[in-house]
């Protein structure tokens, strides 16, 4: 059961967007306007060159090139910040606000400043991940210190451990407060964008005005209803004038 719980454990890896952008650039900075993933084209070229000589060698060279250049790209990107469990879920909730802001930013049109919010949002998400990671590490340190000093006899070492644990717990609370404040600010921005989007929708509907509709014309069922009412009334009147069966037998 514990194995299944570990599989369901939420894990996120958040990378520094500045290093990711750097990793997508060419290895030589003197080339103008490169395309991301340029090195992928080297794989089929090497295969074509070496294939007449030795198919196995061509395959091995191609695989080595993929792993070598891919590893170099990952190195330049950095390992990123790994978040697990509650820390990962906190970041996922914040990331949902970042996605909502990104979607709503286009609705600002010419009022948007900056025009492209994506780099700012990516850096904000990375900073939030750093806050979450720092808070988690500080809380884990305090918890580990509390557990380690439990077996100590009363004395200076135990007192120092308690003091350090309290300082770490206080720092973890401060980091948590900073994270909560930033997420709250994101929530306010997302709410403002939602309000602006609704207002623009209402303005568009008011400007368009009500849809044009055609007059339905005379109701044909009204005439039928009038004739039917007259016929039924006459039928009821005639039914009242008919003699009963006893009167006809007499």
Residue appearing with tokens 């100590």: 152
Cα(61)–Cα(58) distance, rounded to whole angstroms? Answer: 5
Kindly state the percentage of the chain with pLDDT values over 70. Answer: 68
Per residue in 38-67, pLDDT (tens digit) is: 555 656 666 566 555 555 555 555 555 555
Would you call 11 helix, strand, or coil by DSSP? strand
Q: Is pLDDT of 179 > 90? A: yes
227 pLDDT tier (thresholds 50, 70, 90): confident
Residue appearing with tokens 């009821």: 236
Q: 42-50 vs 55-77: helix axis angle to the nearest 10?
A: 160
Q: How far is CA 159 from CA 151, 152, 166, 174, 248, in A?
A: 13, 10, 11, 23, 121
Q: What is the CA radius of gyration of the chain?
A: 38
* Number of neighbouring beta carbons within 10 Å of residue 73: 16
**What is the predicted pLDDT for the residue at 64?**
58
Q: Is pLDDT of 135 > 80? A: yes
**What is the predicted pLDDT for the residue at 97?**
95
Residue appearing with tokens 């403002």: 192
For residue 38, give the DSSP letter: G
- Where do the domains of the chain lie? 7-27+34-79, 85-207
Mean pLDDT of the chain: 77
Q: Is pLDDT of 241 > 70? A: no
**What is the predicted pLDDT for the residue at 110?**
84
Which H/E stretch holds residue 231?
A: helix 220-241
**What is the predicted pLDDT for the residue at 61?**
56
Residues 6+ apart with CB under 8 A from 141: 168
Hey, what are 151's tokens?
Answer: 């077996």
Looking at per-residue confidence, does 213 or 246 come out higher?
213
Per residue in 62-115, pLDDT (tens digit) is: 555 555 555 544 444 457 899 999 999 999 999 999 999 999 998 888 888 888
CA angle 24, 30, 34 (to 5 degrees): 35
């Amino acid at each position: 059961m514990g194995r299944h719980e570990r599989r369901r454990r939420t894990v996120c890896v958040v990378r520094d967007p500045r290093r990711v952008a750097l990793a997508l650039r060419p290895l030589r900075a003197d080339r103008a306007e490169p395309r991301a993933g340029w090195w992928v084209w080297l794989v089929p070229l090497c295969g074509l060159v070496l294939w007449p000589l030795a198919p196995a060698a061509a395959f091995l060279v191609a695989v080595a090139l993929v792993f070598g250049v891919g590893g170099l790209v990952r190195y330049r990107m950095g390992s990123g910040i790994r978040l697990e469990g509650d820390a990962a879920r906190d970041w996922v909730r914040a990331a949902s606000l970042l996605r909502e802001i990104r979607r709503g930013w286009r609705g600002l049109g010419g009022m948007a400043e900056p025009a492209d919010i994506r780099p700012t949002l990516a850096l904000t998400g990375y900073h939030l991940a750093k806050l979450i990671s720092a808070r988690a590490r500080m809380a884990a340190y305090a918890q580990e210190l509390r557990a380690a000093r439990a077996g100590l006899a009363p004395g200076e070492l135990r007192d120092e451990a308690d003091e350090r644990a309290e300082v770490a717990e206080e720092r973890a609370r401060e980091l948590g407060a900073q994270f909560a404040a930033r997420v709250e600010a994101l929530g306010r921005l997302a709410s403002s964008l939602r309000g602006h989007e609704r207002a623009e929708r209402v303005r568009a509907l008011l400007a368009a005005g009500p849809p044009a509709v055609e007059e339905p014309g005379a109701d044909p069922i009204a005439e039928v209803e009038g004739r039917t009412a007259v016929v039924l009334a006459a039928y009821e009147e005639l039914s009242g004038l008919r003699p009963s069966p006893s009167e006809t037998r007499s």
